[in-house]
Structure 1
Amino acid sequence: MTPETSQVLPHQSERLFLTDGGLETSLVFLDGEDLPLFAAFTLLRNSAGREKLKDYFRPYADLAVRSRSGFLLESATWRANPDWAAELGYSDVALDAANREAIEMLRELADEYKTAESPFLISGCIGPRGDGYVVDKLMSVDEARRYHARQVEVFADAGADMVTGLTMTNVEEATGIALAAIETCIPPVISFTVETDGHLPSGMPLGDAIQAVDAATGNGPAYYMINCAHPTHFAQVLEAGGDWVKRIGGIRANASTLSHAELDACEELDIGDPQDLAARYRTILDAMPWVRVVGGCCGTDHRHISAISHTCCQGAAA
C-alpha cells in the first residue's frame, strides 16, 4: 500500500520547518528531571508530567510562530518500544496508552499554536530497539517490521501525520520501520545517526544506507534525516555524496563535537557553540536547498534553535 496523508509534509513544502532540540538532555541536565533509562515518555503517566512536556515544547512553538516557519512536533516516545517499556514496568496496554497520549498531547499543542503562516505537523518518534549509539539487538528486516509495527499502528490511529525512525544505527531496523509504516499507510521518515567518520555505527557509509533502504522499500521513506551527530562529523560526507544526498530532508545535529562514546561518558552537558552550529546549518542549507527540517539533538535547547532560526529562516526572530 502507498502511504497517504492529508497534510503537506516538509519535503513537499517550500517553507522551512523547525523542530525542538534535545528533549531528554534538556529535561535531565537543564531541568533536573529524573528520566529512568532516558525515557521521556514516562512523564506521560500523570498530568504534572504532561504539563512538563508541554512547557518544554512551548518556547520552540513560540519561535516557529514568530519566525513564520512550520514546526514539526516530535513525540516524546524515543524509548517507548516493548523492550525499554518492559524494563520500566509497562504492560503492553500501558505502552499503547502512552504512545497514544504522546500524540494527543501534541495535537493539543498544535491546535493552540498553529497559524496559516506556521503549520504544525506531528511525528510519532520511533527509537531503536536497543542503544542509540551502538549496534545491539540486531534484527532482520522482517523482525524489525514486526517489532515496531504496533507502535506505528498506535501513532497512525492517534492521528500522527507521519512517523520518524530516529537515531537509526543500521539498515535492517530502519527498513523494518519504513515497511511497517508503509503497510499502515502513514508516511515514514528515517533518520540515521553517524560516527565522527560519517559512517553509521554499523560501519556502513551513510549514502549506502540510504540507498539500501530505498532499494528495499521502493523509495518508501518520504525523506531521510541525520541526527545525534555534529555537522563536523558528516559535512564532508554530504559534500562528497551523489544523488542520494537529495533524499536528505532534515538535520537534527548535536551541540557537541564529541563522539558518541565521549558523550556517553560525560557527566556534564556540552552545549557547544549555538552560533557556530547555526552557521554550519546555513552552510548545509546553501549547498542543499531542498532540506526542509532543521532542529537539534543532544545538548541543544531553545538557544540553539533560536540561533538556527535567526540564521536560516527568512523573517526569523531571535
Structure 2
Amino acid sequence: MGQVKPHQKFSKLLSENSLILAECAIAERLRRMDGVELHPTLFNTPLIYGPKQAREQMTNLYREYLTIAEQAGLPLLLTAPTWRLDSRRVKQAGVPSSINTDAVNYLCGVRDALAGRSPVLVGALVGPKEDCYRADLSPETEEAEAFHLPQIDELANSQAEFLLAQTMSSVREARGIARAMSRFDKPYLISFCARPDGSLLDGTRLDEAMAQLDNDNRIERKPAGYSVNCTHPSFLLQSYEPGTLDRLVGIQANGSSKDVTKLDGSGQTEADPVDQWAASMRALHTIHEVPILGGCCGTGEAHLKALAEPEDS
C-alpha cells in the first residue's frame, strides 16, 4: 500500500472529526519565562538549536498540548515555528539557511517521541512580510507571491503535512501567498486577523475575503479552508449569521476580547476568564461548525484543556 499523501491525510482528518484541537500560544508564553531570550526578529525559532534549557522549555510547551490531546482522545494540529523565517529575515539574522527545514524536523521529532493513539499533524507557518497589525504596509499581490515563494518552496518540500499562512491582515498579501502555496502539492490554510467588527484589518469582511480568494483563477489549488487567529471568537459571533462562514474551518483565538491592535506590545498577558473564552469558542464551533479550535496570544495549557473537555462537563 502506498504512503498516504498529505492532502488525503489532512482532508480525512477534517472530514472524520467534528472537533480538532490546535496548539495554543508558544512564543508569547516563552517571552515571559525566566531564562528564555527570544531573537529580535525570528522570535523563538533559533531556540531549536539551543541553549539547551530554553530549547527544553519550548519543547515542554508542545508536550503539554500533545498530552492534553492524547488524554482527550482528540486529534491535534501543531505548527513548526517558521512564522518569521522568510528569506530576507533569515539572511539578515545570519542563522543557518536550513532553519525552516530544521524547525519542521525539530517539531516532528517532538511529536514522534510522544506518539500516541490520537492523530497529530505537524504543519509549518508563513507570516506576513511586514508588521502583521499594519494592513497598510502589506505588499501588493504580485510582490507578496514573489517574496514568500522561496520559504513556501522549502516548507512544501519538508516533512510538514500542511502549510498555514497566519495573521494575514490584508486580502492582497493573502492572495499572493495563496497563489504561491497553490503551486505545490501540500494542503494549506489561510488565516486572517480580524477586528472587533469581524472585518480584516484592511476593512474587508471575512466572508468577502474568503470568496475573493476562492474566486481567483490564478490560485491553482484552493485552500483546504480558512482560519482566523489573533482574534477573539466574539468578534465573529456578533458579526456573521450562521451559514455565512462555510469555508471557515479554524480559529486560534486570543485570550482577550480586546482589539488586537490595542494588545500589540502589551507588557503583560491580557486574558479574559478561561471559562468565558471557552464558552465563546464552543459557540463558534456549534453555530458556524468550525472544527479546529486553538489559542493565540494570552492562551496556554488551561485554555486547551477547557476546549478538550466534554461540553456537558
| TM-score, reference length from structure 2 | 0.89
Structure 1 equivalent of residue 223 of structure 2: 221
1:29 deviation in Å? Answer: 2.0
Q: Is contact 2:243-2:288 (8 Å) kept?
A: no
Deviations 1:79-128 (A, max 9, x none): 111343345344xxx24x11101111121122223334x10101111111
After superposition, the C-alpha distances for 1:274-306 in whole angstroms (9 at most, x for unaligned) are: 1111111111112123x2211000010111111
* 8 Å Cα contact 1:275-1:307 kept in structure 2: yes
Match of 2:76 in 1: 71
Quick one: distance in 1 between partners of 2:99 and 2:57? Answer: 15
Q: 2:62 maps to which residue? A: 57
Q: Which residue of 2 aligns with 1:158?
A: 158
Q: 1 CA distance for matches of 2:296 and 2:44?
A: 14
Q: Percent identity?
A: 29
Q: Which residue is 1:297 aligned to?
A: 296
Q: Does 2:143 match 1:143? A: yes
Moved more, 263-272 or 8-17: 8-17
Q: Find the aligned partners of 1:272 and 1:183 in 2 and give their Cα distance.
A: 40
Output the CA distance in 1 between the equivalents of 2:298 and 2:204. Answer: 25
3-state DSSP of counterpart to 1:228: strand
Cα separation, 2, equivalents of 1:20 and 1:249: 15
2 CA distance for matches of 1:148 and 1:108?
26
Q: What RMSD over aligned residues (CA atoms) do the two structures have, in Å?
A: 2.2
Q: Which residue of 1 aligns with 2:111?
A: 110
Provide closer, same or farther for how the CA distance between residues 15 and 32 of structure 1 changes in structure 2, counting only shifts above 3 A: farther
Secondary structure at the aligned position of 1:132 is classed as: coil
Partner SS state of residue 258, structure 2: coil
Assess if the C-alpha contact under 8 Å between 2:214 and 2:222 holds in 1. Answer: yes
Shift of 1:30: 4.3
Cα distance in 2 between the residues matched to 1:215 and 1:55: 42
Which consecutive residues of structure 2, in runs of 5 or more, have no partner in the other structure? none
For the pair 1:22 / 2:22, whether they are aligned, the reply is no
Deviations 1:23-79 (A, max 9, x none): 121111245632223622121233624433221200100000000000101111111
Name the residue aligned to 2:202. Answer: 202
Q: How does 1:111-130 map to 2 (within 5 A)?
A: 111-116=112-117, 118-130=118-130
Aligned position for 2:241: 239
**C-alpha deviation, 1:140, in angstroms:** 2.5
Which blocks of at least 5 consecutive residues in structure 1 are unaligned? none
1:237 aligns to what SS in structure 2?
coil
> 1: distance between equivalents of 2:134 and 2:261?
9
Say whether the 8 Å CA contact 1:15–1:70 is kept in structure 2: no
Query: What is the letter of the counterpart of residue 123 of structure 2?
Result: S
**Preserved CA contact (<8 Å) 1:65 1:113:** no
Query: Could you say which residue in structure 2 is the equivalent of 1:8?
Result: 10
Partner of 1:85: 90
Structure 1 equivalent of residue 212 of structure 2? 212
Measured in 1, the distance between the counterparts of 2:104 and 2:205 equals 33
CA distance in 1, matches of 2:130, 2:283: 33
> Does the CA-based 8 Å contact 2:226-2:249 persist in structure 1?
yes
Contact 1:198 1:206 (8 Å CA) reproduced: yes
Shift of residue 181 of structure 1?
1.6
* Other-structure match for 2:46: 42
Structure 2: which amino acid aligns with 1:11? L
Residues 278 and 307 in structure 1, CA contact (< 8 A), matched pair in contact too:
yes
Name segments (4+ residues, structure 1) moved above 6 Å: none
CA contact 1:39–1:80 (8 Å) conserved in 2: no
Please give the TM-score of this superposition, normalised by the length of structure 1.
0.88
Kept in 1: contact 2:10–2:187 (CA 8 A): no
Q: Kindly state the Cα deviation for residue 239 of structure 1 after the two structures are TM-superposed.
A: 2.6
| Aligned-partner residue type, residue 143 of structure 2 | E
Shift of residue 261, structure 1, vs aligned partner:
2.6
Q: Distance between the aligned counterparts of 2:251 and 2:7, measured in 1?
A: 22
Alpha carbons 2:164, 2:189 under 8 Å: kept: yes
Q: Which amino acid aligns with 1:199?
A: S
Is the deviation greater in 266-275 or in 60-69? 266-275
Give the partner amino acid of 2:309: H
